[in-house]
Structure 1
Amino acid sequence: MILLIGFLSTIGSSAYSQDESNNTFGKGIQLVASDSSFSMKFGLRFQSLYQGSLNVVTDKWNDQFLIRRARLKFEGFAYDPSLSYKVELGLSSRDISGGDLDQHGNTSRIILDAVLKWQFRENWSLWAGQTKLPGNRERVISSQKMQFVDRSLLNSRFNIDRDIGIQLHHSSKIGNQAVFQQILSVSMGEGRDITTNNIGGYDYTLRLEYLPFGEFTGGGDYFGSDLKREKSPKLAIGVAFDYNDGAARQRGQLGAFVQGSNGNQLSTDLSTLFIDTHFKYKGFSFMGEYANKQSSEQVFVVLDDFSTLKYATGNAVNLQAGYLVDKSEWAIRYTQVNSDDLAYSSLKEETQYTLGYSRYIVGHSLKLQSDLSYSDKALGDNLVTFRVQFEISF
């Protein structure tokens, strides 16, 4: 009995004690080995979203609450600071859904990133593993650091997402301040968490970026809003081209596998061009993107229920701007998506207008965001959509 009382007392005192560290909010928990042989930063974040949509034709209102994203992230270096790593895991249903296919081993797609980065020379690094491809800027910007509640229609229809392979990164200065960056990637072409053999050929991506006024403060070319309030104008111009040889999925790395009811797999070569720009100055920010995706063959599958599987080909433009005052920002966005051929493309013409408001309590680590959108559809009923979401990131 005396031992039991002592044990319970120890638990009680531990429950009300606390450990203090030098870690700060939004920067994760950081550890470094005593012999400096490795480091690890651990982070947790999630987004809680309310979304409601009004069909302007039928006056029907549909809404939902959901955990939009929930992520665990680990990063640091191993053995030597020149050898770094990143692992990111998805926990929400939206993060891991879609894995109930043979190509994913009929399991959930939990792994988002698992990549090793070796800086073998100054301004040169080689990446190997699964991570985001160097496609459009909006996609490469973390979902934690967006200017609106979520990314645009351009991104959802055209982005090339994540894949498994290798990437070569290089950066150099031109003159006194301009920066020129290049990324070359060779990957499998079917997207993340694939367990089967390569279906088509490989995927090749090249991205070039030019920053005429030098680097943005704190990497600001890859997060939404001018939270750093750039004291001088900063501009980034990017061009990316992706060629997916023998693409088996509707959008290359994303979408359904284009298979008939008998399991017969179709493929076509997909070519995607991205052109984007990002500008920031004294709280004002502007980002523009253009995307164009084409296929080498016009093919589609008709299923037993007479529905079809088509490749997503066409073009889109997205323009967005915002102005930050103190910790609050109003932003506007215009997006237009067009199909190149209604008979062979899964895309439908759609134009969306969005007004957004964000309150950055602790930057992108603790914020409340909302937006109101009007979607004008060439085929289908127009929609008015309202969303509000909070993000917390440790």
Structure 2
Amino acid sequence: RMSHKTRCGALAVFLVSNVCVAAAQPAPDTAASPVPPPTYTEPAEGSAEADATAEAAGSDQATGAAEDRDSDQAESGAADVAEPASAAPAANGAVVTAALGRGVRIESADGEFMLNIRARAQLLATALGDSPAGGDGSITFQARRVRLLFQGHLFGPEWQYYIQLGFSNRDTEPDLRLPLRDAYMTWSGLRDMNVRFGQMKVPHDRQRVNSSSALQLVDRSIVTQEFNLDRDVGIQLFSTDVGGLGGRLAYAAGVFGGDGRNRITGDFGLLYVGRVSYLPFGAFDDYVEADHGRASNPRLALTAGFAYNQNSVRTRSTFQDTYQLGSFDFFHANFEALFKMSGFSFLAQAFMRDVRGSAVHQDNSDPANPIVETARVGYGAFGQAGYLFNDHLELVGRFGEIRPTRNGASALRRQGEIGGGLNWYFQKHDFKIQLDYFWLYQGDFDQGRHQVRVQTQFFL
């Protein structure tokens, strides 16, 4: 009987072998220039910044960046990435290239088919101080994220695909150890309405949709971790350049199953999501944290997002534990502001989550031991700012807090974070080391503990 790790490894080998066989199918022996899919920019394709943009595209994430980056391509991270060192034409005319930060790329001679295979890992060490409740501190070492992804296009650049697998312990849910994180197709044939279907990130809030490979601190804010909508299976319509205004207006609207990734339920209840962004100065790399381009012109993105999840049995709407006594109808709202200029970057997000009707389910069948389940209703906000001194060194700070609503009739409790970090970028987000410190508190500010984290990431 194969172990879970053996099955995951076999799945990865199976996928790689199949896509490589597909790439090796006979193609006309013509010399055609490679045509990149419109969700990421050709010069930077394969970099962490480009992957973050491609992964984000579909909920206004790319915001026109794939078509309208700075002319020197510094914003996309291409400046520090050398051209692929190897380019070997196969017997059938396909071209194979490989380079650090770009992965392995296989493209047919006519440009109709392209496959990009990439892998990344985040290796994390964490030290936690003693908790105010009397718990001992700890030091842990872990592979925080280990991912394998396949992306490219079929039958021309209008049809793009994206598959991502996760193999670390925290890449899977405790009660469902499946490695599949993303599996979707995108049709980008119209400027004002593209279509994406499959399992993907729900287009609700910026920091969650932003790739974890392109963060300024070791991980996302505790506020984002509480209020985000993670991944789900569904369909969305989106545009990163509504009306051809240079990426100044973008939107996403979708319908999803409502129970999260890799879940199948029979109840009638769907997740409805909508999101609108306004970029007054035009498109930029608004789904990559840190201002690597350090361009002198101001760049701003303002966003509002809303969601309604009907009959959800998950404690955080689309993920985490499962309610046993019944379901809740969740309302979500999210507001964001992102600014970049001359190496400085600032991101602020505010969240709200509530339920329709009562926030409490109670079973009194055993009066001596009643069972009570309470919804996690509340609000939260965080702000973070960073300054990139040169191509390598960045200083970042963040403050965030979560508070319950309904006069305390909520499973949430007040908690917060305040701290900062230092980043050293060897090759932008593709190869970096991050150090951060946070004071994490619950209840009163002085009831907290220290946290220090060191993480390195390499993105092949």
Which TM-score band applies after superposition, normalised by the shorter structure? 0.7 to 0.9
Which residue number corresponds to residue 79 of structure 1?
155
What is the SS of the residue equivalent to 1:55? coil
2:454 aligned with 1:388: yes
Q: 1:84 to 1:175 in 2, by over 3 A?
A: closer
2:141 aligned with 1:65: yes
Which residue number corresponds to residue 22 of structure 2?
none
Conserved? CA contact 2:161–2:185, under 8 Å? yes
Question: Per-residue CA shift, 1:328-379, capped at 9, x if unaligned?
Answer: 1111000010011365322110121011111111110100001100022117
Equivalent runs, 1:170-249 vs 2, <5 Å: 170-172=239-241, 177=246, 179-197=248-266, 199-216=267-284, 220-249=285-314
Question: Per-residue CA shift, 1:75-131, capped at 9, x if unaligned?
Answer: 10112210111000011111023234xxxxxxx221110000011323421001000
2:361 aligned with 1:300: yes
- For 2:227 and 2:124, the matched residues in 1 are separated by 24
Conserved? CA contact 2:123–2:142, under 8 Å? yes
Conserved? CA contact 2:302–2:337, under 8 Å? yes
- For 1:339 and 1:134, the matched residues in 2 are separated by 24
Conserved? CA contact 2:290–2:388, under 8 Å? yes
The correspondence for 2:388, drawn from 324, 349, 354, is: 324
Aligned AA (1:85)? Y
Conserved? CA contact 2:240–2:247, under 8 Å? no
Q: CA deviation at 1:308?
A: 5.4
What is the SS of the residue equivalent to 1:156? helix
- RMSD of aligned Cα (Å): 2.2
Which residue number corresponds to residue 329 of structure 2?
269
- Which deviates more from structure 2 when the two are superposed, residues 86-95 or residues 166-175? 166-175
Which residue number corresponds to residue 146 of structure 1?
215
The correspondence for 1:313, drawn from 377, 385, 388, is: 377
Question: Per-residue CA shift, 1:214-241, capped at 9, x if unaligned?
Answer: 111xxx2001111121230000011100
Which residue number corresponds to residue 162 of structure 1?
231
- For 2:150 and 2:244, the matched residues in 1 are separated by 37
- For 2:363 and 2:167, the matched residues in 1 are separated by 34
Give the TM-score, by structure 2 length: 0.74
Conserved? CA contact 2:360–2:372, under 8 Å? no
Conserved? CA contact 1:86–1:116, under 8 Å? yes
Conserved? CA contact 1:98–1:109, under 8 Å? no
Q: CA deviation at 1:309?
A: 4.1
The correspondence for 2:425, drawn from 360, 369, 383, is: 360
Aligned AA (1:118)? W
Conserved? CA contact 2:215–2:288, under 8 Å? yes
2:442 aligned with 1:377: yes
More strand by share: 1
Conserved? CA contact 2:131–2:137, under 8 Å? no
Which residue number corresponds to residue 105 of structure 1?
none
- For 1:369 and 1:350, the matched residues in 2 are separated by 24
Q: CA deviation at 1:299?
A: 2.0
Q: Which runs of 5+ in 1 are unaligned?
A: 1-18, 101-107, 261-265
Conserved? CA contact 2:360–2:373, under 8 Å? no
Which residue number corresponds to residue 193 of structure 2?
124
- Which deviates more from structure 2 when the two are superposed, residues 118-127 or residues 242-251? 118-127
Conserved? CA contact 1:75–1:84, under 8 Å? yes
- For 2:377 and 2:451, the matched residues in 1 are separated by 26
Q: 1:179 to 1:54 in 2, by over 3 A?
A: same
Which residue number corresponds to residue 137 of structure 1?
206
- For 2:403 and 2:215, the matched residues in 1 are separated by 24
What is the SS of the residue equivalent to 2:157? strand
Which residue number corresponds to residue 348 of structure 2?
288
- For 2:362 and 2:395, the matched residues in 1 are separated by 44
Percent identity (aligned): 29
- Which deviates more from structure 2 when the two are superposed, residues 317-326 or residues 380-389? 380-389
The correspondence for 1:30, drawn from 105, 118, 133, is: 105
- For 1:238 and 1:202, the matched residues in 2 are separated by 23
Which residue number corresponds to residue 19 of structure 2?
none
Which residue number corresponds to residue 183 of structure 2?
114
